[in-house]
Amino acid sequence: MTTFDDHVNEAEELVRTSQFGSTSMLQRKLKIGLSEAGRVMAALEVRGVVGPAEGARSREVLVPPPTPPTLEEILACAPKRPADHANIAKRQAMILEFADGHREHSPEVEVTLDQSGTFTLNPIVPFRRIPEGEKNHA
């Protein structure tokens, strides 16, 4: 069962990511009722995530959107040995997030990661996400 604190934490992430703070959005995304969404929004206001209510309009978001990880942060997750599959999966997720976050600067990049933990950035047109099971067979 999801607790109120879980709803508030998830709502904070949603509002920060979408930069949109409305009770109806929280109802839809969190699958909660109007009164619960109102309490969650009030908690976000106390945390300083959103501004005060202004009638029926969505609230002003007071926190910046999350920043994508830097390439240095991605490389810091490099696996120490090939059998470190959890670290490889984390690194692949960070690389994809990095590529998504920087798509406007370098839209023609494909990221591939093999089982040894080696990744490559390949120019492509257009940008596409690599399916999770696909490997680089080059």
Task: Give the integer Cα–Cα distance in Å for 26 and 44.
Answer: 11
Tokens 């490559």, residue located? 120
Task: Give the integer Cα–Cα distance in Å for 97 and 93.
Answer: 6
Q: pLDDT digit string (tens) for 43-98?
A: 999 999 999 999 889 999 999 988 877 777 777 776 555 555 666 667 777 777 76
Give phi and psi for 11, each to the nearest 5.
Answer: -65, -40
Residue 107 has pLDDT above 70, yes or no: no
Which pair of structure tokens corresponds to residue 52?
């005060």
Mean pLDDT score, 114-136: 58
How would you class 58 by CB atoms within 10 Å of its CB: exposed for 0-12, middle for 13-18, buried for 19 or more? middle
Task: Give the integer Cα–Cα distance in Å for 20 and 45.
Answer: 13
Task: Give the integer Cα–Cα distance in Å for 8 and 26.
Answer: 10
The pTM of this model reads 0.53
Task: Give the integer Cα–Cα distance in Å for 107 and 111.
Answer: 12
